[in-house]
Every structure is written in structure tokens, then in C-alpha cells.
Structure 1
Amino acid sequence: MAISETVEVESKFEVGSDHPAPSAESFAPLVADDAVEHQLSATYYDTADLALTRHKVTLRRRTGGDDAGWHLKLPGREGRIELQAPLGDDVPTELVEAVAGLVRRRKLAPIARIDNDRRVNLLRDADGTAVVQFCDDRVTTESLIPGGSASGWREWEAELVDPSLPNSEEALAGVSAACVAAGAQASSSSSKLARAVGEVPDLWDRGVSPVRDALGEDLSQLLDHDPAARRVTMVGVHQMRVAVRGLRSTISSYAAELAAETEGTDLDLASLLEELKVLAAVLGKVRDIQVVDERLEGIAAEYPEDVVSPQTRQRLRAELDFEERRAGERVTAALVSDRYLDLVDALHELVRVAGTDPDASDADGQPAAAAKDKKKRRKDQDVILRGVDRQFAKFTKSRTRTERDLAQLDLSLAQREELTHVVRKRAKALRRNVSSLPDKGGLSVAPLRTACQRLHTVLGEVQDSVTARQWIRRIARRAESAGESTFGFGVLFEHERGFSERTLDGFENDAATVTAAYRELSESRRASRKKKSKGDKKSRKKG
């Protein structure tokens, strides 16, 4: 089946039912075609728990207009990505596969019907090219979910016909300004469907457990970026990898708490961690190539062509593009597999049971109702602080061993990089735990968060340099076998080597800053407890 893909960049406005539309002259210098009217009718599909809607994805079957068919809209960096398939009775398999991580093995069913009396003006530039489509929509909706209702409203849309056209964003801004000048207000809703369905409830009760909240946020991020990762976009793969690492870090940090809550279930924390590690490795391969590609292109641009020749640049481009396609195919294969869907099912179950330990419930076995109660907040804070303490202990162990070896052993640059990479991972895990703490209540949180981020960023640059040099060596060998000059590869390699050497010089100071910031947090914890103890004594005396 032929699937087309476009990028949707639009502005939406709310307007009264009797409000006059902007005049054709108000769109100048764009020239408006005569209006064309369409009767559009769309049925929207989702899972029973509204997984697509929750992650800002819409799937509809629409009739009428000049683009009747199945439409799947996905969040994108520059605008919404719209995949279109021909009209048919059943949801096209290709569209389901594009959101398989959200749908999993569940049934898609109608959740809303939206009818739209649309009046369209194409707005053209001086050359006669259609630039913006202005739509005056009169919308009626019927929510098909339990408890849903019917509603209706009027809105204006200004959408780019082709976002790649020069100055198209300026043209859209001009049309948007004309709409506001005509009395419209920017829409408070992201889409017609969101307005028809209303607020989508969370899948889990927030505030019951900080562990559940952390796991839920990580899982939400993974699913938010699942569709983009399937399309192997740089942002999608990177953010999904971040979420996977976040899940591993959270499960490891709170293994003791989760072990009690998963007892008697089919969940195996060790197996979950292993599956996440495998997924991170698959995502990491394509992510590393994407980073190296961007990095080496920038470095090569700093040298003249008699140093890094056009042949060397072309070899880099061709090799890395080929390797990225291969790695991307492995990502796609992993994300369409039953193994991945089983992992996502298990993660949902883990979020569900997290926080169900009897200590986290009230006398009736229900989640503690007084989530804002001081005692509840202190208990949650203590759970997070225990996680911070555990991760700092791991960080300190890695740092101590690394600094000892750096001082006592005659290490190569590669050995130094390998040692500090472990410290980087510990600093990142520590930062994640610290970020769950509110920067209030007398706790000194910000310095540790900042110190961890600084160390992680610096050592992350070193690791990117390590990966870049690995690829330079590999591609240089292929170039040499083809009889090509490898001088330019040597220049790039030494550039990266020098960068890593210079960056590692400040490692000990950055690591020491993390330790000092942790001690500052510890001091603030002791001071806060002392203050609380005094307050409790005064309260008892008054009582």
C-alpha cells in the first residue's frame, strides 16, 4: 500500500460563530484564491485507554475534501508528521506498525466522530505558488468514549502548503497576524480531537510513590518517542535511549523497594534490566553513528581541502550513511518484535505495582489519600534520598578506583577514557536521582544537580571523541584498501585525540565538585532534620 508522508505546520485560532473572516486584502502580500467548500467527516480511532491521544498521536478515517483516506499524525520537531493511506474499511497495517509501541497488541476502536464544514482559501505568493492554506472551520463533534458528549465550535486554521519553501514561516506568521487582527485568539487546544475528547486521565495515580512517579515518567518518555525512533530520527532515537537508560537507573536505584512490590508477580527485575540493556545497545549503535557523522562533518569543515581532501570527506559520508542505514534497520526490527512489546507490557505492569507496598497505602489498602500531608512528603523525600545515597556510593567507588589507577598506573589514553567512562555513567545515574528532589524544604539540591550535569557533559564529550576515533580508524582502513590517501583521516584522528587529552585534564576537579556538592546536600539534610526535631518538640510542649 502506498503511504505518503508530509510535515504539517499550522496555527489554530478560536473564533466566534458569527465573526467575519479576515478579508482577502488582510493577507497581503499573499493573494487569495476564491474559496472552496468541503464537507469533511472523520472517525478517530484509539485504544480503550486512549494511548494514542495521551501521546499526542491521532489516527483517523476521513471522507470528503481532496485528501480523503486514513491519516496518522505524529509529533515532530518542525511540525506534525502526517502519514496518509488510501481510503478503506480497515486501519492500514502500515499505520498500525508506525505506532505499535503505543497500541501493542490491543484493539483500535472509534473514540470520536468529527464533522467539519470547511471553507478554504489558498494563499499564493507573487509567483503564483500556493504558500498557505487558510481554513474557516465549523466543527461538530461526538465523543464515543464512556461519558463523552457532543459539542461544536468554529475555528480558523492557517497551514503551510510546503514547509520547505523559502520564507514560508514568515508567510505563516503574516497570516496568523491577520487572524489575530481580525479578532481571533490562539487556540487553547492542540487539536480538534483533544478538544472533543477532553482531558485524558493518567494511567497511574501520581503522588502515591516517588518510585512509581519516576518509572511512569521514564515510560511515558519512551512511548512519546517510540514512533520517531521507529522512523530512526536522530531526536527520536536519542530520546528513547535516554528513557531506556532512565528506566534502568530507576529500577537499579530502588531495587530494594521494587523487590517487595513485585514479589508474587511474574515480574523479574533482573530480566527487565537485561532487556533494557539490550534495547539501549541497539538504539546506541545508530545514535553513536549519527553523533559521529555530525561531529566529523563539523571538524572536517575546519580544515582546507588540501588537508582533508574531498575524497576523504566523501568516503566519510558514504561509509557513515551506509552504517546508519544498517543500524537503523536493526532498530526498526527490534521495535516491531514481540520481544519489545513484551518488554513494554512488563514496564506497564511494573509502574502499576510500584507504590503498592502496604506502607504506601492507608488503612483500607487504598493509596494514601493525603498526598500533600507533611508526613507523606517527608516519607517520599526519604525514599528519594536513599536512592541518592545508593547512587553516590557507587559514584564514589568508581571515582576512587579511577583516580587511584590514574595516579599509580602508566595508562594509555584509551585506558584513561575507559575508566572515566564508568564514572560518567555513575554521575548520570546520580543526577537522575537528585533531579527527583524538590529544590526546597531547606535541602541544597541545585549544586549537586549542576555538578553531576557538568561532569556527565564533559565526559560525554570524551566518549563521543572515543567513538569518533573508532570510526575514523575503521573507515581509514577501508580507504587504504581501496588505494586512497589516508592523510586526512590521520588529521581528524589527531584532532579528536588532542581534544580528549585536554578534556580529561579537568576530570579530577569536576569529580571533586560532585563530592563536595553531595556533602553540601548532606549538611542541609542534617540541618533540616534538626530544625524539624525542634519544631516537633515545641508542638508537643504546646499540646
Structure 2
Amino acid sequence: MAISETVEVESKFEVGADAPAPSAEAFAPLAADDPVEHQLSATYYDTADLSLTRHKVTLRRRTGGDDAGWHLKLPGRDGRLELQAPLGDEVPTEFVDAVAGLVRRRELSPIARIDNQRRVTLLRDADGTAVVEFCDDRVTTESLVAGGSASGWREWEAELVDPTLPHSGEALAAVAAACIAAGAQASSSSKLARAVGPVPEAWDRGVSPVRDALGEDLRQLLDHDPAARRVTMTGVHQMRVAVRGLRSTIGSYATELDAGTAGSDVDLAGLIEELKVLAAVLGKVRDIQVVDQRLGTIAAEYPEDVVTLQTRQRLRSEFDAEEQRAGERVIAALLSDRYLDLLDALHELMRVAGTEPGRGQPGEEPIPAEAGKRRRREAEEMVLRGVDRQFAKFSKTRTRTERDLASLDLSLAQREELTHVVRKRAKALRRNVGSLPDRDGLNVAPLRTACQRLHTVLGEVQDSVTARRWIRRIARRAEAAGESTFGFGVLFEHERGFSERTLAGFENDAATVTAAYRELSESRRAVRRKKSKGGKRSRKKG
């Protein structure tokens, strides 16, 4: 089936039912075509719990207008990516695959019907090129969820015809200004969002800090699932970050989660193992994407008589082929029953985590105010215990690494391997610290910043390690083909020097993490002393 793709960049406006639309002169210097009217009717599809809508994905079947067919809209960095397939009775298989992680094995069914009497004016630049499409919409909707409801309103839309055209952004801003001048108000709500109303959270927040941390990581994984299936650099990276976050949270709070999952079918060890496998699949393509971009940037810094055009072309062709193969493995993994089983297990973990009796679940008696405060203190202490455990692991690894670095005659590769372990410990500690709020006198920010700094610095070293592996591999292939490998040697030494210089500051960055943890510990003691004095005063008054 032929699937077309466009990037949707638009501005939306709320406007009164009787407000006059901007005149053609108001859009100058853009020239306005004669308006064209369309009668559009769209049925929107989602799961029963509105998973697509919650993750800012829209699936609809629309009739009327120039683009009748199935439309799937996905979030993107530069605008929403819109996929379009021919009109048919069933959701296209390609669209089902694109949102399989959000839908899982559940049914897609109609959630809303939206009819739209649209008046379209095409706006052109001085060369006659269509730049902006201005739409005057009179909308009526029928919600098919939560008992159903009907509504109607009028709105204006200004959408770029081709976001890649020079100065298209300025043209859209000018049209938006004309709409505001005509009395409209900017709106960020889509027609579907207004039709179905607020979408409930997938999980109740505040039940427990562990559950909140798990829920945030799972939300991020699902948010980026559609982009990862398209093997975009951001999608793969962010999904990998979420997978590692889930592994870290489950590992850090295994004791608490064991209590919450007792008697359920959740296998925490099995979950961690499956997440590890998924991270490895995502990591392969992510490493290729990062190194490809990294070496392309470095090569551009050298003249062509040092890193020749042939060397650059060899890099380009090798990475294109490798990324395609790795991307195919990512797509296959995300379409597999194994991945869907993992998602089902994670949702089951979210259902039972932090829901032991007495935690204020639906159907239980409301929690008294004093008991609620006690629960919040217990929750904060639980997160702090997780921070303590992760810092102990970090400190032990740091001490051992610095001892070996000082006492042993190590190669650069050995030093990089040792510090990579420290990086992983710093990353795990940073995740736990991220669950702590900056309140109640706790000095959290310095530790969060120090962990991020160390993780970033050592992450750059690890990227350099990976880049050198690829340089050696590609250079051997170039040599076998009779090509000059001098340029690869230049790139290799560039990366080697970068790693040497970066590792020189490792110990200072690691020491900053330890100092920041001590600041947090001191602030915790101060908070305890303050609360203790407050409690004594209360007892004396009593």
C-alpha cells in the first residue's frame, strides 16, 4: 500500500462564530487564491483507555476534501509527522504496526466523530509558490466515549504547505499575526482533544515514589515507541534511556517491589533480563547513529588532502549499510510478541507496584491528614535509601578505579574500561536522585548536577571508544579494497587524543559527586534536627 508522509506545522486559533475572516489584504505580501469549500467527516480510533490520545498520536478515517483516506499523526521534533493511506474499511496494516507498542493486543475502536465545514484559502509568495493554507473551520463533534457528548465551535488554522521552503516560518508567523489582529485567540488544543475532553492518567500518581518513577520511565518508553519504530535518532535514544531507567528503578527498589508484587505473576528478574536484551538491540543502532554523526563532524574539520573524499565516502556507505541492518533488527524486535509480552508485564507491574493494603487505594477509607504526612515522609525516606544504596555502589567503584589508575601501568583502553563502570554507577545514582524533590530543606540540586556532569563527560569517552572500534573495522575493509587508510589513522588519533584529554579531569568530576552527596547528607541531618526540635516543642506545649 502506498503511504505518503508529510510534516504538519500549523497554528490554531479560537474564534467567534460570527467573526469575519481576515481579508486577502490582511495576508499581504502573500497573495490569496479564491477560497474553496470542503465538507469533511472523520472518525477517530483509539483503545478503550485512549492510549493513542494520551501519547499524542492521532488515527482517523476521513472522507471529503483533497486528502480523503486514513491519517496517522505522530509527534515529531519539527512538527507532527502525518502518514496517509488510501481510503478503506479497515485500519491499514502499516498504521497498526506503527502504533503496536501503544495498542498492544487491544482493539482499536471509534472514539469520536468530527464533521467540519472547511473553507480553504491558499496563500502564495511573490513567485506564486503556495506557502500557507488558511482554513476557516466550522466544527461539530460527537464523542463516543464516557457516555458521549456533542459540541460545536469555529476555529482557524494556518498550516505550512512545505515546511522546508525558505522563509516559510516567517510566512506562518505573519498569517498568525493577521489572525490575532482579526480577533482570534491562539489555541493549543486539537479538535479531537476538545471532542473527547481530558484524558485520564494511565496510573494514579502519588501512590508511591517507586511507582511514580516506574510510571515516568514507562511513559517515556511509550512516548518514543512510534519514533523508535521509524529508527529516528531521537526516538531510539530516548527509548533506550527509558529502558535503562526501568532497569535501574527495578534494580534499585527490588526490596520494595518484591513486597508489592508478592502473589502476582510479575517476575522482576525476568523483566530486568528482557529490558537488558531490548537495550542491547536499541544500543546497536544508537551507537552507529552517534558514531556516524561524530566522525562526519570530525572529518569535516580536516582538508580533503588529509581525510580524502574517498575516505569520507567509505564512511558514508559503511554507516548507511550498518544502520539499515541494525534498524531492521530494531523494527523486528518492536514488532515481536516478545516485546508485546514485555510491555504487558510492565503494565502489570505498574498495576500492582505500591498498591499494598493501607496505601489509600480506590475503595479504601480516606487517609487522615496526619497519616498522609507520615506516608509522604516514608516515601521520601524510601527514595533516600535508594540514593544511599546507589551512592555506596558508586563510591566503592570510584575508590577501586582511582586506586587502579594510580597504582597500575594501564593502557588507555584499560583506563576507559574502568571509568566506564564508574559512569554506569553515576548514571544509576542520577536516576535515583532525580526522584527527589527540591523541598523540605534537602540540598538535592548539586548532586543531580554533579552526576549529570560526570555521566556526560564519561559518555563522551565511551562514544570515542566506540568510534575507534568502527574506524579500525572500516579501515580494514578500505585496505582490502586497495584504498588509502591514512585518513582513518588521522581520525583514530583525533579520537584517541580526545579521550586522553577528557579522562584527565575524571577524578575531579568524580570527587564533585562525592562532595555533593555529603551536602545532601548534611541537609538531611539538618532537616531531622529541625523536625526533632519542633516535635519537642509540640510535646512541651501539650
> What TM-score comes out, normalization by structure 2 length?
0.98
Match of residue 255 from structure 1: 254
Secondary structure at the counterpart of residue 283 of structure 1:
helix
Partner of 1:487: 486
Question: In 2, Cα distance between the equivalents of 1:362 and 1:149?
Answer: 30
Once residues 469 and 312 of structure 1 are traced to their aligned partners in structure 2, the CA distance between those partners, rounded to angstroms, is: 15
Cα offset for 1:266?
Answer: 1.2
- 1:424 maps to 423
The one-character-per-residue Cα deviations of 1:346-371 (angstroms, maximum 9, x if unpaired) are 11111111111235347975685759
Relative to structure 1, the CA distance from residue 352 to residue 498 in structure 2 (aligned partners, 3 Å threshold; closer, same or farther) is same
CA distance in 1, matches of 2:246, 2:95: 27
Contact 1:362 1:369 in 2 (8 A): no
Structure 2 residue aligned with 1:300:
299
Q: Verify the 8 A CA contact 1:207 1:371 in the aligned structure 2.
A: no
**What secondary structure, in the 3-state scheme, does the structure 2 residue paired with 1:483 have?**
coil
Aligned match of 1:99:
99
How far 1:146 moved relative to its partner? 2.1
SS of residue paired to 1:358: coil
SS at match of 1:360: coil
Residue 436 of structure 1 corresponds to which residue in structure 2? 435
| Partner Cα distance (2:363, 2:321) in 1 | 59
Note the C-alpha offset of 1:303.
0.7
Match of 1:75 in 2: 75
Distance 1:363 1:104 in 2: 26
Determine helix, strand or coil for the equivalent of 2:527.
Answer: helix
- Paired residue secondary structure (2:204): coil
The one-letter code matched in structure 2 to 1:243 is A
Spell out the pairing of 1:204-223 with structure 2 (5 A cutoff): 204-223=203-222
Residue in 2 that maps onto 1:57: 57
Aligned to 1:413: 412
Paired letter, 1:201: P
**Map of 1:14 onto structure 2:** 14
Q: 1:483 to 1:214 in 2, by over 3 A?
A: same
* 2:30 counterpart residue number: 30
| 1:44 corresponds to 2:30 | no
Contact 1:208 / 1:367 at 8 angstroms: preserved in 2?
A: no
**Pairwise CA distance, 1:188:** 3.9
Asked if the contact 2:59/2:73 (under 8 Å) is kept, the reply is yes
User: CA separation of 1:364/1:176 partners in 2, compared to 1, >3 Å: closer, same or farther?
Assistant: closer
Give the aligned partner of residue 374 of structure 1: 373
Residue deviations 1:21-42, cap 9 Å, x none?
Answer: 0010111111110000000000
Q: 1:362 to 1:340 in 2, by over 3 A?
A: closer
What is the aligned residue count? 542
* Match status 1:507 vs 2:506: yes
Q: For 2:477 and 2:27, how far apart are their aligned partners in 1?
A: 57
Q: Cα distance, 1:420 vs. partner? A: 0.5
Given that residues 97 and 335 in structure 2 are in contact (C-alpha distance below 8 angstroms), is that contact kept between their aligned partners in structure 1? yes
CA distance in 1, matches of 2:227, 2:301: 32
Give, in whole Å, the separation in 2 of the partners of 1:367 and 1:312.
69
Unmatched 5+ residue regions in structure 2?
A: none
User: What's the counterpart of residue 130 of structure 1?
Assistant: 130
State the SS of the aligned residue for 1:141. strand
3-state SS in 1 of match to 2:13 = strand
Q: Residue type of the partner of 2:134?
A: F
- C-alpha separation between the residues in 1 aligned to 2:2 and 2:273? 38
Alignment CA distance shift 1:533-1:457 (3 Å): same
Q: What is the distance in 1 between the residues matched to 2:473 and 2:452?
A: 31
State the one-letter code of the partner of 2:410: L
d(CA) in 2 for partners of 1:519 and 1:245?
26
Q: Residue 211 of structure 2 contacts residue 350 of structure 2 at CA under 8 Å; is this kept in 1?
A: yes
Write the mapping of 1:47-196 to structure 2, written as runs, cut at 5 A: 47-189=47-189, 191-196=190-195
Cα distance in 2 between the residues matched to 1:192 and 1:422 = 49
CA distance in 2, matches of 1:126, 1:443: 60
Between stretches 307-316 and 361-370, larger displacement belongs to 361-370
Q: What do residues 153-191 of structure 1 show as CA deviations (whole Å, max 9, x unaligned)?
A: 1100000111111111111111111111111110141x1
Aligned mates of 2:327, 2:193 — CA distance in 1: 32
Quick check: 1:208–1:368 contact (8 Å CA) kept in 2?
A: no
Q: Which AA in structure 1 matches 2:245? A: G
For residues 280-291 of structure 1, the aligned pairs below 5 Å read: 280-291=279-290
Following superposition, the deviation at residue 436 of structure 1 comes to 1.0
Distance change >3 Å, CA 289–CA 415, structure 1 → 2: same
- Structure 2 residue identity aligned to 1:109: S
Aligned to 1:385: 384
Distance 2:428 2:344 in 1: 24
Inter-partner Cα distance in structure 1 for 2:37 and 2:192: 21
**Structure 2 Cα separation of the partners of residues 367 and 336 of structure 1:** 43
Q: Within 2, Cα distance between the matches of 1:341 and 1:398?
A: 36
1:58 Cα deviation (Å)? 0.6
Q: Which amino acid aligns with 1:471?
A: W
- Residues 3, 83 of structure 2: 8 Å contact kept: yes
Aligned-residue offset at 1:148 = 3.0
- Write the deviation string for residues 483-512 of structure 1: whole angstroms up to 9, x where unpaired: 000000000000000000000011111111
CA contact (8 A) 1:8 1:82 kept: yes
Alignment of 1:450-461 (within 5 A): 450-461=449-460
Q: State the SS of the aligned residue for 1:293.
A: helix
Gaps of 5+ in 1: none
- For 1:167-216, what per-residue CA distance to the aligned partner results, in whole angstroms no more than 9, with x for missing partners? 11111111111111111110141x11011111101111111100110000
In 2 relative to 1, CA 367–297 (structure 1 residues): closer, same or farther, beyond 3 Å? farther
- Please list the CA deviations of residues 375-397 of structure 1 after superposition, one character each: whole Å capped at 9, or x if unmatched: 22211110110110111111112
What SS class does the counterpart of residue 122 from structure 1 fall into?
Answer: strand
**Secondary structure in structure 1 of the residue aligned to 2:22:** coil
Cα deviation, 1:32-74, whole Å, max 9, x if unaligned, reads 1000000000000000000000000010010010110110000
Amino acid at match of 1:342: D
| AA at the equivalent of 2:169 | E
Distance 2:256 2:371 in 1: 21
1:524 Cα deviation from its structure 2 partner: 0.7
Partner of 2:495: 496
Classify 1:63/1:455 alpha carbon distance in 2 versus 1 (closer, same or farther; 3 Å).
Answer: same
For residues 254-273 of structure 1, the aligned pairs below 5 Å read 254-273=253-272
Contact 1:241–1:280 (CA<8 Å) still a contact in 2?
Answer: yes
Superposed CA offset, 1:236-290 (max 9, x none): 0011001001101110110000011111111111110000011001111111111
- RMSD in angstroms over aligned alpha carbons? 1.4
8 Å Cα contact 1:22/1:179 also seen in 2? yes
Asked whether the equivalents of residues 133 and 161 of structure 1 are also in contact (C-alpha less than 8 Å), the reply is yes
Task: Show CA shifts across 1:462-493 (max 9, x none).
Answer: 00100110100000000000000000000000
Q: Is the 8 A contact 2:355 2:361 kept in 1?
A: no
1:373: Cα distance to partner?
3.6
